[in-house]
Amino acid sequence: SRDGTSSKKGLLVYSELITSGQLEDLGVKHAAYNVYTSLICNGGGISYTYNGHTYSFNAYQVGLYDIIFSRLSSRGIDVNAILINDLSNSTLTYPGARGGGATLYAFNASDEEGVNMLAAVSSFLANRYSGASGHGKVSNWIIGNEVNERTVYNYTPYMGVDEYAKLYADVIRVCYNSMCAVNSTTRVYVSLDNRWNMNKSDKSFYDVKDMMDAFNSYMCSEGNINWHVGYHPYNYPLTEAKAWSWGRYDSLVSGSPSSAIISMRNIHVLTDYLSQPSYLDNNGSVRHVILSEMGYRSEE
């Protein structure tokens, strides 16, 4: 817990839920909320100057985030905001991904214009939701959604895992530097799904283990920063409601570091892996892990 909250309970919330009283009834103390670039970057009304350039953000949408984050914060709920890019054609979008027909797109940290805009958006959000300006407090910023899923949630043309991990590492560094410059207490997280080490030839996604190894190696070579992990430990298969169930999927969801899947049943595989000396943060500590998305099927 970031701020001494009394419960581990968390939900991906929506605006109506915040005013219904259900969060209090459930004892929820952690909330995740999506922040879409298309909503804040289209339209104007709020000017923000960063690195000598002035950017305009949608005042109506930012005002809605103000209400949501301030209400959550006033209830003692720790806020985790997920910054995701749904803009097909934008300076914010990796040039090779523009014009694609995906759901979400890779951020652009590959050219000066993209870096400046990504840094400006990150700086604006971290500053506004630092808890110091009356707009609420976001403790954790998660950059992207399940970014090892290349074709749907972090679209780019296919490339090798090293190149892909470098692209995302550059994005994380831009967001980290700009966010921590205006709010030193914020934490920046990478977002990964449950496909740890499947070793399939499917080019639509990268195994988390392969991508994280390449990401960490490149990040350390360029100067380590205190990035953290937002993991989605869904059961395997997704229709399996019992995380503790042992059966025909034993070989895929195991206690081995080379397990194909990491779910709640074997989440220690991830934390053990992050405990390796090569993965420690600048303080010599194991990086923080939050379970930023998961769910269970209730039909069976």
| pLDDT tens-digit map of 17-47 | 887 888 988 889 999 999 999 999 999 999 9
Q: Is 298 helix (H, G, I), strand (E, B) or coil?
A: coil
Average pLDDT over residues 7-24: 86
Mean pLDDT (the chain) is: 94
**Residue pair 95/108 in contact by the 8 Å Cβ criterion:** yes
Pairing outcome for strands 78-84 and 140-143: parallel
- Helix/strand/coil for 201: coil
Find, among 80, 78, 79, the residue nearest to 3 by Cα. 78
In contact, 28 and 9? CB cutoff 8 Å: yes
Q: In what order do the strands lie in the sheet with 187-192?
A: 10-12, 30-36, 78-84, 140-143, 187-192, 227-231, 289-291
Reference 171, options 189, 185, 184; nearest CA is 189
Specify the pTM.
0.95
Residue type, 140: N
Q: What percentage of the chain has pLDDT greater than the value 90?
A: 83
Q: What pLDDT shows up at residue 300?
A: 54
Query: Residue 20 in contact with residue 71, Cβ under 8 Å?
Result: no
**Two structure tokens written together for 122:** 């990150």
